[in-house]
Amino acid sequence: YLGDPYVVARELANTPDYYISHASAMALHQMVTQPQLAVFVTSSKAIRPRTVLGTEFRFVRCKPAGLFGIAEHWATKTERVRVSDLERTVIDGLKQPEHCGGFTEVAKAFWMRRDAISPSRLIDYALRLDVGAVVRRLGFLLETFEVPAATEIERLRPSLTSSYALVDPLLPAEGPYQARWGLRLNVEP
């Protein structure tokens, strides 16, 4: 018997600098429509993926400065684990959609919990992470879903560069270019 997979993930990480992330955090925050087959953990140290009693554990490395937006979650009645908060979960999904099932899954997750997500905190996290593709995808996502935060969204614009990024890096590089956010729209809005 494996026990709670999130507690196992915490023990495998074996560091206080970790958090349950990506698709696993989406599952904990009830932002998914499909069952999750792997447990994703972000850590400041490199850890090889492992399979324990049929459960796959995948580790994503990040810099120590990238460990923010983390909350405590009761995995069992006696065990707590660290998990990304709602906003950080969306930002992680925008940064690495491949760990969440693609951009469309991240967009669905955002839509499912849109009333609980703070647009200003999302923007703060995106600017703090300072990854161009995240800023572009977030601006596009917020405008596509008509989130009423126009002045907040404009905070993203100064950090844009002249390059273009794919909306979903998992899909082929095709589709029209959108100059406003510097994106190639390889996903239908």
pLDDT in tens, 46-105: 999 999 999 999 999 999 999 999 999 999 999 999 999 999 999 999 999 999 999 999
pLDDT digits (tens, 9 = 90+) for 114-133: 999 999 999 999 999 999 99
Q: Give the integer Cα–Cα distance in Å for 39 and 90.
A: 17
In this structure, the dihedral spanned by the alpha carbons of residues 150, 186, 32 and 85, taken in order and rounded to 10 degrees, is -40
Q: Which two tokens stand for residue 7?
A: 């507690």
Tokens of 83: 């998990």
pLDDT at 1 > cutoff 80: no
Q: Please report, rounded to a whole number, the percentage of residues in the chain having pLDDT higher than 90.
A: 93
Output the CA–CA distances (angstroms, integers) from residue 53 to 15, 56, 81, 116, in the order listed: 22, 8, 20, 35
Q: Does 157 have pLDDT greater than 90?
A: yes
Average pLDDT, stretch 163-170? Answer: 95
pLDDT of residue 121: 96
